[in-house]
Amino acid sequence: MNQPWHALGGMPGVLAGTAIVAIAVGYQDVAQALTFNEVRQIARPVTVLVRSKDSIGSGVIIAKQGNIYTVLTNRHVVEESTAYQIQTSDTTIHSTVKVVRRFPEVDLAVVQFDSSKIYPVATLGNSDQIKQGDTIFSFGYPAAYDTTTRRVDPKYYEAEGIILAIDPTQAQGYVIKHRADTPRGMSGGPLFDAKGRLIAINGKHGSAWELREGVPTADSSERGENLTTGRTLVQVYNGEWFSIPINIAVKRLASVNVTSASLKIDNTPPPNNQERIAKPKNAGDFYLRASLAAQAGKTEAAIRDYSQTIQLNSDFLDAYFQRGLAYLKLNQPQRAIADFTEVINRPSGNLKIYAYNNRGNAYSRLDNWKAAVDDYNQAIRLNPDVANFYYNRGNAKDRLGDSDGAITDYTQTVRLNPKDAEAYFRRGNVLSRTRQYQSAIKDFTTALRLNPKDKSAFNNRGLAYMRAGNWQAAIADYSQAIRLDPKAGDFYYNRGLAHGLASNFKSAVADYTEAIRLNPKDAEAYFRRGSAYTRLGDLQAAIKDFNQVIQLNPDAKFAYNNRGLAFARMGQLQTAIADYTKAIQLDPKAADFYYNRGLARTSTNDEPGAIADFTEAVRLNPKDAEAYLRRGNLYVRTGKQDNAIADYQTAKQLFQQQNRPEGVKQAQEAMQKLQAK
């Protein structure tokens, strides 16, 4: 249903009310490597702010030809047809900005500005030489929310990190995964290596999806992911980011007349961290090794090294944060909560915001939805411009039964991120559950436009169509869900329900049969197929299915009731009465069971027993006009005319209230016939 990584536009800036503080965790300790401060002196003059009236991003100066400066940034930073400005490190705002090229196949763009001032240009490294574990530095202008002014303004920011992985299969050129904090607004900003060379352009963050099973039940007769048993997704900030290698950009620059001759390029290899990884000596070394272990899925080894990091440096808050994430992966939420709390209780910049979000996710693991909501509230208070926080809070409110609150939060999510298909999906589920079917259908349709292969959205839109009475549309959606996943028994089951409601009982039988083939222990599918066989008149097949239901679930009261109906239609009235009696034993408050047994007893001329059953039926359901009419007929047979007239009058009134003219006619004729005697 979802895309695991979101563009940086969805992430918060630095902690409100604090100064911009570089995150430096001490990765770099090898020969030939520059210090963070030395890289900073190189990077800051070439890092620029790219903005329009509606957007904020970053960029890096890579070439100068006369008075024309060429800036590399992300395509999504300058994708709108609007006017852009570039602010250089000296705070000069350049308004003569031209978007030279937006590359469709990668998330890169080239812009240029004209200035007589002298600005340095970045030296480009060879991104083909970078490897896992290399030290890198991220620079840019994130959108910082200030709780005092309640404004989002860009401020210069920088962070140190490491390369976590290199994956050439990633879409839009995002080959490099790294851990150097790169908040919202730093899209298009530079990623430098430990020799002060530009090796990549930032642009995506890794707010991972965490899958949890079990969600509120909506209707036991329908099965839909996120309606009965299915997925619950929360968005977890994991401190991972994605960048586009500079070599991908260089290959395209010639198309905009920026040749290699106009670029400063240094092809020497970057400093090597492999010895530090193999033989860690200090907190930074252990953190480096822990990060790579976590990337490799060696979670327990990562926790050991994060713990060693903390033992050597108890102020290493990134280690607490990442260990908390590792504990979540091992499903140890209490330990995760302790680590995120450590981050929250200390001055921790950006991490405090993310820690509140992730601690909320940990509380949700414990089904402590109230505590989860409290933490999401804190994250939103610190930065109310993050779609993910509202999404997670919406999930928690949904679990607390606060449907209105959940809808409000999902609405805010899609306002901030109109491409969040999962938020539309979740809001559609809540709307469907609260019987706002047309609005639910609209949300599922949007989710499918954003993700046309979402089988769950087809299924759940089918549920909404079915509840709204549009059987054919429901059948079409279930068919699409089945096409996407032909092994999902629930989709066949739901389509069987829709076929039954449309009186296509043969098609319903075929779908229930497939659901049973996929799950031979699906008692509900046997029950539904038995009911469809009953409607087709194949009573022996129906009884066989109801027998199977009872074998799988001896307390299946409806199976006894419906088997009794089948036996009654076959004329086996005593067997039917026995089944109705068993159903009543299982649920003594079910009026229909008494009514059905009353019909069977009427047919066996057991007037006293039948009268007793209809009397109990109307006691449990005083609006059951049919039961009054049937009891009135029995009173006539037993010579109790006054009682019969009273029942006919009550039946007539109820039929009138229920707008059932045929019933009114039956009760009226029965009274007239009795009074004529």
61-83 pLDDT per residue, tens: 999 999 999 999 999 999 988 99
459, 463, 468, 469 alpha-carbon torsion, rounded to 10°: 90
Q: What number is the average pLDDT over the span 501-514?
A: 97
pLDDT confidence tier of residue 155, bands split at 50, 70 and 90: confident
82-128 pLDDT per residue, tens: 999 999 999 999 998 999 999 999 999 999 999 999 999 999 999 99
What is the share, in percent, of the chain residues with pLDDT greater than 70?
90
| Whether the predicted pLDDT of 233 surpasses 70 | no
Q: Is 456 or 22 the better-scoring residue by pLDDT? A: 456
Lowest-pLDDT range, 9-18, 52-61, 89-98?
9-18
| Whether the predicted pLDDT of 216 surpasses 60 | no
For the chain, the residue count is 677
pLDDT at 24: 42
Q: Is 304 or 161 the better-scoring residue by pLDDT? A: 304
pLDDT at 245: 96
> What kind and span of H or E run contains 655?
helix 641-657
Domains detected in the chain: 6-207+239-267 (2.40.10.120)
φ/ψ (deg, to 5) at 58: -130, 175
pLDDT at 483: 98
| Whether the predicted pLDDT of 457 surpasses 60 | yes
Alpha helices in 366-453 (DSSP H): 369-382, 387-399, 403-416, 421-433, 437-450
pLDDT at 146: 58
| Whether the predicted pLDDT of 433 surpasses 90 | yes
pLDDT confidence tier of residue 229, bands split at 50, 70 and 90: very low
562-589 pLDDT per residue, tens: 999 999 999 999 999 999 999 999 999 9
Lowest-pLDDT range, 219-233, 290-304, 489-503, 604-618?
219-233
pLDDT at 350: 78
Instruction: Calculate the average pLDDT of the chain.
Output: 89
pLDDT confidence tier of residue 276, bands split at 50, 70 and 90: confident
Cα 201 to chain centroid distance, Å, stands at 29
Matching residue, tokens 């047919």: 603
pLDDT confidence tier of residue 33, bands split at 50, 70 and 90: confident
Q: Is 482 or 237 the better-scoring residue by pLDDT? A: 482
| Whether the predicted pLDDT of 447 surpasses 70 | yes
281, 286, 287, 288 alpha-carbon torsion, rounded to 10°: 80
pLDDT confidence tier of residue 149, bands split at 50, 70 and 90: low
φ/ψ (deg, to 5) at 549: -60, -45
Matching residue, tokens 């990549």: 200
What is the share, in percent, of the chain residues with pLDDT greater than 90?
77
What are the tokens at 373? 């909501």
Q: What number is the average pLDDT over the span 475-488?
A: 97
| Whether the predicted pLDDT of 619 surpasses 50 | yes
Q: What number is the average pLDDT over the span 463-479?
A: 97
pLDDT confidence tier of residue 261, bands split at 50, 70 and 90: confident
| Whether the predicted pLDDT of 505 surpasses 70 | yes
3-state secondary structure of 540: helix
| Whether the predicted pLDDT of 1 surpasses 70 | no
Cα-Cα end-to-end distance for the chain: 71
Contacts of 25 (CB under 8 A, 6+ apart): 160, 161, 284, 287, 316, 318
Q: How many CB atoms lie within 10 A of CB 53?
A: 9
| Whether the predicted pLDDT of 322 surpasses 90 | yes
pLDDT confidence tier of residue 21, bands split at 50, 70 and 90: very low
pLDDT at 183: 80
Sequence letter at residue 55: S
345-364 pLDDT per residue, tens: 999 877 899 999 999 999 99
628-672 pLDDT per residue, tens: 999 999 999 999 999 999 999 999 999 999 999 999 999 999 999
Q: Residue 634's closest CA among 664, 655, 614?
A: 614
| Whether the predicted pLDDT of 23 surpasses 50 | no
pLDDT at 227: 41
